[in-house]
Amino acid sequence: MKENKPLFEEFKASSYEEWKAAAEKLLKGAPFDKKMYTKTPEGITLKPIYNREDLPEAADSLPGSGDYLRGTSSASYRAQPWGISQEIPASEPGEFNKLLLDALSKGQTGVEIVLNDAAANGIDAASDTSGKACGRRLSVSTAKDFQEALKDVCTDCVDVNIHTGSAAAGVAAMLYAAKGDKQLSGGIYFDPISVLAAKGEIARSLSCAFDEMADLVDFNAKNFPKMGAIGVDAMCYSNAGASAVEELAFAFATAVEYIRAMLERGIDINTAAKSVRFRLSLGSNFFMEIAKLRAARVVWSRIISEFGGDDEARKMRLNVRTAKFNKTVYDPYVNMLRTATEAFSGALGSVDSMTVGAFDEIIRKPDEFSMRISRNQQIILQEECNLLDVIDPAGGSFYLENLTQEVAKKAWEIFAKVEELGGMVKALEAGFVQDSIAATFALRKKGYDTRRSAVVGTNMYANMAEKPLEKPECKCRENAEKLAAKAKAEIKEVAVSCEAEKLGGKIEKLVEAAKQGAGLTALTKAICKCQSKTSVKALPSERAMSHYENLRAKSEEYKKANGFGPKVFLATMGPLVQHKIRADFIRGFFEVAGFEVIYPNGFDSADAAAKAFAESGAKFAVICSTDDTYPAIVPDTAKALKAAVAGSEVYLAGIPAPECEESYKQAGLDGAINIKSNNFETLKAFLTKLGVL
């Protein structure tokens, strides 16, 4: 019998030094460190290749053990698939129920309730003075609203996650009053600190909010042990442009603030920790997002261990949602591709539940089509990609294990800085959190503006023929009136008093009042009577590409007002092979701001180019050819173009040779546009000169 030998043993294994030598040869003298290493917004430097030597010792742990690097369950999705917990875009309970039952019949496995601003802050529709109500977030004023919204839903079988704002006890009481004899699992995402960070203000003291939180934690632990009462929603940090490590650090600092507040109010560490529900974002950096989720479990396990929590308390309860920061208004169907990779990273990172945002959610109220696509993205990952059949498929990757360790380390460093400042609230008051994220956003923006970071369809590869999605007329005011009328008809005058009750007893009193028909405002006032406000500098909530979208929108407005849009003329000199590469670059450079790019076939003389420029109606011209031909053609072409159109500006595509710059300038050349140009600032300047901005 022939002896079995290791596969490929006849081939010599290459060393890192041999690979590096081969790479340096291909770089042809370019510096290896500059070309081959990548620095991320997290401050992590990525190497071009990873080997076994880069594998951390912690990577040897098993799923469900140790610091939970590889998941909190030894069987992972084989035992319990992650929950498909999509948001339902409806404000009226009856409509919400109709859409929810349809979604549950088509693959959704969890209930995700995002309350409108009034309900999230403990105000019923009858008492809401804003006069507006978002048509995509649920409004609840009484227990009857929850009965309607969750009618025929088996809450014993699915998790129910409710995202509140600066108040939660009244909402929870109405839910518990409506649930009948059914058990509940999931979480009340009560996170006043994140609301404070996002909005800059909450209409109560944090001490009062923490008292309410402690009552809710104690009540849930005794009555609904699978229902969390503390939310840590990091979406406000990612929506402001935070890096992965900042998002984790500020989430942990928020959670620790709550843990300490609970301990001070008599809640033990195990009860408090098990009540925490995290909500993290999923962004475009595929590997970074996987590493972030894995690192999150490690850091949280360490934090709870320091507090003395047991093995079960050290497990992170994790809900994730696709980010809004990187989504775009233009070329919106690309958002489907973004959420596909984001959901994939969430699945590989091991989560308890996941929400995939609809591709059109930043533009309009999602419709049946966009909701179905976002839901099916998760179902495909589970059913067609078979991701439920493997446990921690990312485990053992040299790169991912190393990156996970780096993310955990960086997040801990920022978390430690927040702790040195006195905790999350003190860090917000000092502006540390806001300044840190602002610096990261500025770094990200520079990458977008110089197109080092591509956002398909917005700062790169604009689709000039696209038709905008139809956006229905806003009916927020009409919606508010309808909800207010319904609330006034259903709210009962009930005496609600719970001041004398001990820990947890206050919620029992609220539930009793809710069963009798008490309104949300009355329930909220019964548990918190403070009149103070808490304020900090609010985090910005500007999407990555909103400034680019503004340029293009202004160009479209200009076109409607004048009958033509901003134009740029390409002086394509010579045959196609001579000018195409640079002309294509310039076309893409300008189209992202809505410019009409006039792209002729090519000119054999400066006079021919000048004649066409004069007929184009454009004020800007860009000479496109090769470095070899520029010295001979630029002076005459620039002069001819300038003479053909009064007040025009002429630019060169590419980087002019140093020895030619003076002659080009004397010929009238106004500048050059090339790969080093700041795309956004250049376009902004051009549109300003045309009177578009």
What phi, psi does 446 have (nearest 5°)?
A: -60, -40
Question: Is 556 in the same domain as 673?
Answer: yes
Q: Assess if residue 482 is contained within a domain.
A: no
Tokens at residue 187, please? 């979480």
Do 557 and 463 belong together in one domain?
no
Task: Tokens for 234, please give them.
Answer: 């990091």
594 is a domain residue: yes
Give strand pairing partners of 547.
none
Give me the CATH number covering residue 659: 3.40.50.280
Tell me whether residue 564 is exposed, middle or buried, using C-beta atoms within 10 angstroms of its C-beta: 0 to 12, 13 to 18, 19 or more. Answer: exposed
Domain endpoint, select from 473, 491, 506: 473
Summarised one tens digit per residue, pLDDT across range 306-352 is 999 999 999 999 999 999 999 999 999 999 999 999 999 999 999 99
CA 152 to the chain's CA centroid? 33
pLDDT, mean of each 10-residue run, the chain (693 residues): 62 84 89 91 94 81 91 93 95 96 96 95 92 87 97 93 95 94 92 97 95 96 96 97 98 98 97 98 97 98 97 97 97 97 97 97 95 97 95 92 97 98 98 98 96 96 92 86 93 86 87 95 91 93 95 96 96 96 97 97 95 96 97 96 96 96 95 97 97 95
Residue 37's CB: how many other CB atoms inside 10 A? 12
**Is 450 in the same domain as 586?**
no
How far is it, in rounded angstroms, from Cα 504 to Cα 128?
A: 28
What is residue 233's DSSP assignment? E
3-state SS string for 553-592: HHHHHHHHHHCCCCEEEEEEECCHHHHHHHHHHHHHHHHC
| Whether residue 76 is found in the same domain as residue 222 | yes
In a domain, 427, yes or no: yes
Between helices 206-223 and 244-264, what is the axis angle to 10°?
80
Q: Which residue has the tokens 């250049």?
A: 682
Is 664 in a helix, a strand, or coil? helix
User: pLDDT, tens digit, for every residue of 37-56?
Assistant: 999 999 999 999 999 888 88
Q: How far is CA 431 from the centre of its chain?
A: 22
Check residue 5 and give its pLDDT. Answer: 63
Cβ atoms within 10 Å, residue 541: 15
User: Do 451 and 582 belong to one domain?
Assistant: no
Give residue 276's Cα distance to chain centre: 21
- CB distance 193 to 425 below 8 Å: yes
Task: Give me the helices (H) in 308-431, please.
Answer: 334-348, 368-383, 398-420, 424-430
Which of 473, 502, 530 is where one domain is finished? 473
**Total number of domains in the chain:** 2
Amino acid 3: pLDDT: 59
Q: Quick check: is 526 in a domain?
A: no
Q: Are residues 440 and 573 in the same domain?
A: no
**CA 290 distance to own-chain centroid:** 14
Instruction: Collapse the DSSP code of 641 into the 3-class scheme (helix H, G, I; strand E, B; otherwise coil) and give the result.
Output: helix
Q: Which domain holds residue 277?
A: 57-473
Say if 287 falls within a structural domain.
yes
**401: helix, strand or coil:** helix
Q: What pLDDT shows up at residue 475?
A: 83
Terminal alpha carbon distance of the chain: 81
Domain with 77 in it: what CATH number?
Answer: 3.20.20.240
Q: Are 491 and 126 in contact (CB under 8 A)?
A: yes
Residue type, 240: A
Has residue 508 been placed in a domain? no
Give the integer Cα–Cα distance in Å for 578 and 209.
68
Q: How, if at all, do strands 649-653 and 596-598 pair?
A: unpaired
Whether the CB-CB separation of 568 and 598 falls below 8 Å is answered with: yes
Quote the tokens at residue 680: 């956004």
Q: Final residue of a domain: which of 473, 503, 535?
A: 473
> What are the two backbone dihedrals, phi and then psi, of residue 613, each rounded to the nearest 5 degrees?
-65, -45
For residue 638, give the nearest of 647, 649, 646, 653 by alpha carbon.
649
Radius of gyration of the chain (CA): 29
571 in the same domain as 457: no
